[in-house]
Amino acid sequence: MGTSPWHLQQKKERLKREISENLDFLVGSVTTQGPTGGVILTTKENTKTKSRYIRVGILQEVQTMTLRHRKLKALLKELGALNWELLKMESSS
């Protein structure tokens, strides 16, 4: 990442804020049930697929919340890489 510790700390604070803003999430994928037209949220739990029916009135909110989960995973990955860079800088000082 080749930047100063101050810049890395600023980026870390930004990531922490973004993570805290995206904690209202759902894990899973929104899929349709084919010709029946129903919509479900599917998740994996202990190697089993769990399905939950999504009412039409909450479909948009469920989709938004599953997108937040994907964003949250990316933010956590970025924060992990950033923490590694900070740790390397601290150990070389």
* Residue in 51, 48, 3 with CA at minimum distance from that of residue 28: 51
Distance CA 84, CA 77 (A): 11
Q: What is the four-CA torsion angle of 4, 6, 7, 12, rounded to 10 degrees? A: 130
Distance CA 74, CA 42 (A): 20
Element (H, E) at 41: strand 39-45
Say what the pTM is: 0.84
Which sequence spans correspond to the domains of the chain?
5-92
What confidence tens digit (pLDDT) does each residue in 25-79 have? 999 999 987 777 789 999 999 999 999 999 989 999 999 999 999 999 999 999 9
CA atoms within 13 A on the CB side of 2: 0
What confidence tens digit (pLDDT) does each residue in 11-25 have? 999 999 999 999 999
Structure tokens, 5 = 């510790």
